[in-house]
Amino acid sequence: MKLTFATRPSALARQQTQWVIRQLQDLWPDLQCEERVIQTHGDRVVDRPLPAIGGKGLFTQELEEAILSGEVDAAVHSLKDLPTEENPRLIIGCIPRREDARDALISARFRNLNELPSEAVLGTSSLRRSAQALRIRPDLIIKSLRGNVDTRLKKALRGEYDAIILAGAGLIRLGLQNHVAEWLTFDQMLPAPGQGALAIQCRADDQKALELLARLEHRPTRLAVAAERAFLAGIGAGCSVPVAAYAEVDEGQGLIQLHARVIAEDGARMIQVQAEGSEAQDLGTRLAEMALEQGAGELLTGQKPS
């Protein structure tokens, strides 16, 4: 048997793909796996902030096209990069156990967010991160930060920014967590829907791939991220807007607890909702309706409440 995986060229994307391959080959030692490196639009355009690029699937579209064409069998994505609108010819074959979903502050000189001096320069390409940081520290100056994890890390350690914020999962997967100055709590900074989770995508009719990938499935993680993504879809927002969501699953009671936020870009206003339920899709949709009733739509479009 053989599986060919599409992967982006970054060190993190390669590591994530190789981790999946190792897990599969531990289960099936005779399984042959191959990587096919494919650049996405998000990889090619690195001189502009992500919100300015716009569009869906900035880091996934070319990989999905390679799967559909038969060039590859599957692709390993950071789940938070996948648009909520899925191609019916494709399927997320498995979602492994989630890594740490927290965001992390990196700084060469300062120990935490509160210690940053007045008007410190904070680097991030995420409106979600900048909005929540400004809610805590409205004096901060936000400066766009693009590039691979190692590139962004080097910029912070060289002092080009007073601090930057990165997803903790990527740092852990690359063995770079020793550079973390502060692990931000969920009260400080709720993560992006799906942050810390991987999604292995394949063709919906590829039974061979689906049977192999099923062994890596972690059901609680799938339920949690399904609720988070349902909230994102219900709000009608993409991955580049200031929307945050995080769910935890109580397997004993069969309940999913979902917390979500919609934040104004300047951090001045925030709508926060939470609820629990047994059905992930219904829970996320219900919470989105609650947020919209409280004015989330106006926050996302930058309108003032009437």
Residue 242 burial class via C-beta count within 10 angstroms: exposed 0-12, middle 13-18, buried 19 and up: buried
- b/e sequence 69-98, b meaning 16+ C-beta within 10 Å: eeebbbbbbbbbbbbbeeeeebbbbbbbeb
Contacts of residue 72, defined as CB under 8 A and 6 or more positions apart, other chains included, come to: 4, 5, 6, 36, 63, 66
| Residue 168, pLDDT score | 97
Per-residue pLDDT of the chain (306 residues; tens, 9 = 90+): 899 999 999 999 999 999 999 999 999 999 999 999 999 877 776 555 555 555 556 778 899 999 999 999 999 999 998 988 889 999 999 999 999 999 999 999 999 999 999 999 999 989 999 999 999 999 999 999 988 899 999 999 999 999 999 999 999 999 999 999 999 999 999 999 999 999 999 999 999 999 999 999 999 999 999 999 999 999 986 555 799 999 999 988 889 999 999 999 999 999 999 999 999 999 999 999 999 999 998 888 765 544
Q: Which residues are catalytic?
A: 81
CATH class of residue range 225-299: alpha beta
Tell me whether the CATH fold assigned to 2-96+197-217 matches the one assigned to 103-183: yes
CATH topology (fold) of 103-183: D-Maltodextrin-Binding Protein; domain 2 (3.40.190)
| Residue 149, pLDDT score | 93
For the chain, what is the radius of gyration of the CA atoms?
A: 19
| Residue 299, pLDDT score | 85
Q: Where are the domains of the chain?
A: 2-96+197-217, 103-183, 225-299
Domain 2-96+197-217 has CATH 1.10.580.10: no
CA distance 262 to 242: 6
